[in-house]
Structures are given as structure tokens and as C-alpha cells.
Amino acid sequence: MTMSVPPGDPPPASWRAPWKGVPIPAWRYFREVSSTQDVARAWAEAGAWEGCLVVAEAQTRGRGREGRAWWSKPGGSLTFSVIVRPREQEGPFLGHLAGMAALAVCQVLEEEGLHPSIKWPNDILLAGRKAAGILIETSWEQGPVPAYAIVGIGLNVKTEALPPSDQVDFPATALEMHWKKPVPRARLLVRIWRALFHWRIRVGRRTLWERWEARLAYREQQVLVMVGDQTRRGQLLGLTPDGRLRVRWELGEEDALLTATHLRPLGKT
């Protein structure tokens, strides 16, 4: 059953102004929604173009990777989803979509003098703590690439948006703890959207892979990695050209991982 596409709420002037002159196909603002991913998926099913965006002040059923809940408090977070329609030649590089989104966020934070790193495959760290998360969801019909992908990004902007420490699987932080000035969420959204499409045209290219690898957290360090239900120890080497994680295990063999449910530097659980 196809979900109808809600029209959204009238965005405040402060959210409209930064989009003036920006060539986005369309965007929808919500004061509250179940999940920006769900709305973007319904919009994509209805034929929305690549680049269309859904942003919400709050989510009642926001989610992250592996089905985890994603907190989203009004005024305290920046939570949005963007529709992407992969091209046939990008089939071998779908892993780059996570790198594309991570690099977009990192680029904007670096422009503000911050020093983010990327905890593969989908977290942005500041001072070793999670400041943002990325969720890529795809819809397959037939052929070598999905009909569309929904790129979801959530950033903790204010400390009040941080979930209780006993409800997170990794230490969290908020942008305002590092930015040292008020964080303009609407302008930040526009900047990240622009950066996203700077990297979008580089999916499948060496440039994206190299920049992603250069910002990789724990590179050349000893790490604990959970693969399936097994936790293994090894050295994080970097990335393969298609975005898989390269690890050298304790006994010396090397592996390239498509997924891992748990990645930590040795000594941290």
C-alpha cells in the first residue's frame, strides 16, 4: 500500500529565506512527522525528482541504522531526508552514498573550523563523540541500481537534543558544544544540501573515495569490529574503492567489510 504524501506545514520565514536562489527541485517542512525517511519514500514513490528534501522539527518515530531510534527534539536537532536516484553506472558504488553524505556534513563543519571525522559507515564524530548520523534506505524494483535511495541525516544541534546516556550505544555530542556560537539550523541545512550535491556528482570517482578515507576515524588503529554475532580484533587499514572497510585481523589476514554492527577503538566498549 502506497503512503500518501503529506503536503507539509508552511515554513517560517527564517526557514524560507536561505533557499532563495538555490536550485532545489522542491522541499517540504514539517513541524512534526513520524519520520522524514517515510515521507521522502512516499514522495519518491510518487515520482519526486532527485534532490527533493524533507525536513522536520521533530520526529515521533525517527530511526537510525540497524533499526535504532533517532532522537529529534523541536529546535534542538536538524533532521532531514533527501531523494537520490542512482544511475546505472553507479551500481558498483552504492556504498559511496554514505560517504557522499558524510563528506557533505564534514565539509560544512570544516568550513566553521571544526575537525570532524567519519566513523564508518555512517556517523560523524566531533572530539570522538557522535554529532550526526546517516541512514541510507533504498527501494529496488529491477536492474542494477535501486529505483531511488533516501539519504537521511540527523544532527544534534543543541545539548537538549541529546538522548539519555543509558539509551545510546556510543557517546554523543552536540554542535553547539563545538561551534561556540548560535547554530543557524536553516542555513546549515542549505549548506549541507549544496555540499551533498557537490559530492553527488563524484559518486564512483576516486576523489570521493580518497577524501572519505582521509577523514576515517581510527585509521591505522586497533579496533573491535562486530561482524554478525562475532566480535573480532584487528587494525583498521582504510577503505576499498567501492567504500568497504579494510581490516587486518589479529592473525594477519585482511578483509573488506560491507557492513559491521559495532566498530570501536580498542579499549572502548
Q: Is the pTM of this model over 0.85?
A: yes
Between CA 204 and CA 100 the distance in angstroms is 10
Mean pLDDT calculated for residue range 93-108: 97
What would the mean pLDDT of 88-92 be, rounded to a whole number?
95
Average pLDDT of the chain, as a whole number: 91
Cβ contact 235:252 at 8 Å: no
Burial class (CB in 10 A: 0-12, 13-18, 19+), 10: exposed
Characterize the bridge pairing of strands 53-56 and 117-119.
unpaired
What residue spans define the domains of the chain? 13-214, 222-265
* pLDDT (tens digit per residue) in 186-197: 999 999 999 999
Contacts of 166 by beta carbon, 8 Å cutoff, 6+ apart: none
Q: Kindly report, residue by residue over 209-260, the tens digit of the pLDDT.
A: 999 999 999 999 999 998 888 899 999 999 999 999 999 999 899 999 988 7
Q: Using only the alpha carbons of the chain, give its radius of gyration.
A: 18
Classify 64 as helix, strand or coil: coil
User: Where does 113-216 have alpha helices with state H?
Assistant: 176-179, 185-200, 206-214
Question: With 80 as the cut, is the pLDDT of residue 263 above it?
Answer: yes
The CATH code of domain 13-214 reads 3.30.930.10
What pLDDT, on a 0 to 100 scale, did the predictor assign at position 268? 63
**pLDDT beyond 50 at 141:** yes
Between CA 163 and CA 72 the distance in angstroms is 9
Give 222-265's CATH code, choosing from 3.90.1200.10, 2.30.40.10, 3.90.400.10, 2.30.30.100: 2.30.30.100
